[in-house]
Amino acid sequence: MKEAIFNPTFFIAITVGAFYIGLIIQKKTKSLLLNPILIAMILLIVFLEVFHIDYATYHENSKLIDFMLQPAIVCLAIPLYQQLKKIQQQIIPLLVSSLVGSAVGIISVVAIAWAMGAPKEIILSLAPKSVTTPIAMEVSKTIGGIPALTSCVVIFVGIFGAIYGYMILKKSKVQSPIAQGLSMGMSAHAVGTSKSMDISASYGAFSTLGLIINGILTALLAPYLVMLMQAILGF
């Protein structure tokens, strides 16, 4: 009976339904804390616990969502193309700020984790925290971290950024839409980019750019920066 009900169609419907409920709740309450992704995660966890369904079963039956997300990412190219002239005009500042931001993001989290006495595996798992999950997990595996832990941290960082990112930027008196969008994409990856798209196509375009550049830079820089930090801090 369970097998007949709990099939891929059912799990996909439950997942989409949970996210839709999250959208409705946020729209009704207008609360930044009630992020649709966070609400969907909580609802799905409760559902799996109540019906005693293990995550492996859920993941296996909802793989179609992962498959559909891959071509959906191509849609991010549209706002990028629309802002192409502005990007070309600002290409040097964008690349320099992205390089600095990526390096600072890696170095700061490693230094803070080390200062707080975290074990080596935890420190290495935190290093790629600000890039999208597939890249972060591969980087984590390469430098000796725990990919599963990295995945959880990336999700938390993305949700935190989507909730508080623009609030922090506003409090920091960062006024430029280019700087705000780029910062969100670099620090809160795909979830932050989704939030940026809700504001405007311009914010979404530069957030997408930040997401892409930071993914490339983190994959290239993280192994070398972590090695340097290990030599300096001795962890």
- Cα–Cα distance between 68 and 86 in angstroms, integer? 30
pLDDT of residue 41: 86
User: What is the average per-residue pLDDT within 138-166?
Assistant: 87
Which of 31, 30, 28, 62 has the alpha carbon at shortest distance from 44? 62
Contacts of residue 97, Cβ cutoff 8 Å, sequence gap at least 6 = 179, 182
What is the C-alpha end-to-end distance of the chain, expressed in Å? 53
* Banded model confidence at residue 100, pLDDT cuts 50, 70, 90: very high
Locate the domains of the chain by residue range. Answer: 2-61, 76-233
Chain-centre distance for alpha carbon 43: 20
What would the pLDDT profile of 50-95 be if each residue is shown by its tens digit?
A: 888 888 888 888 878 777 766 666 777 777 788 888 888 888 988 9
Q: Give me the mean pLDDT over the 2-10 stretch.
A: 70
Show Cβ contacts of residue 72 under 8 Å, excluding neighbours closer than 6 positions.
none
> Where are the alpha helices (H) located in the chain, listed in sequence order?
2-5, 8-29, 36-50, 55-61, 63-72, 77-82, 84-89, 91-115, 120-126, 133-143, 147-171, 177-199, 201-233
pTM given for the model: 0.76
Confidence of residue 107 (pLDDT cuts 50, 70, 90): very high
At 165-222, the pLDDT tens digits run: 888 888 888 888 888 999 998 888 888 888 888 888 888 889 988 888 898 999 899 9
Question: Which pLDDT band, with edges at 50, 70 and 90, does 4 fall under?
Answer: low
- Tens digit of each residue's pLDDT (9 = 90 or more) over 25-56: 988 887 777 778 888 889 999 998 888 888 88
Is residue 1 over pLDDT 60?
no
| Most confident range, picked from 8-17, 107-116, 183-192 | 107-116
Average pLDDT of the residues in 135-141 = 87
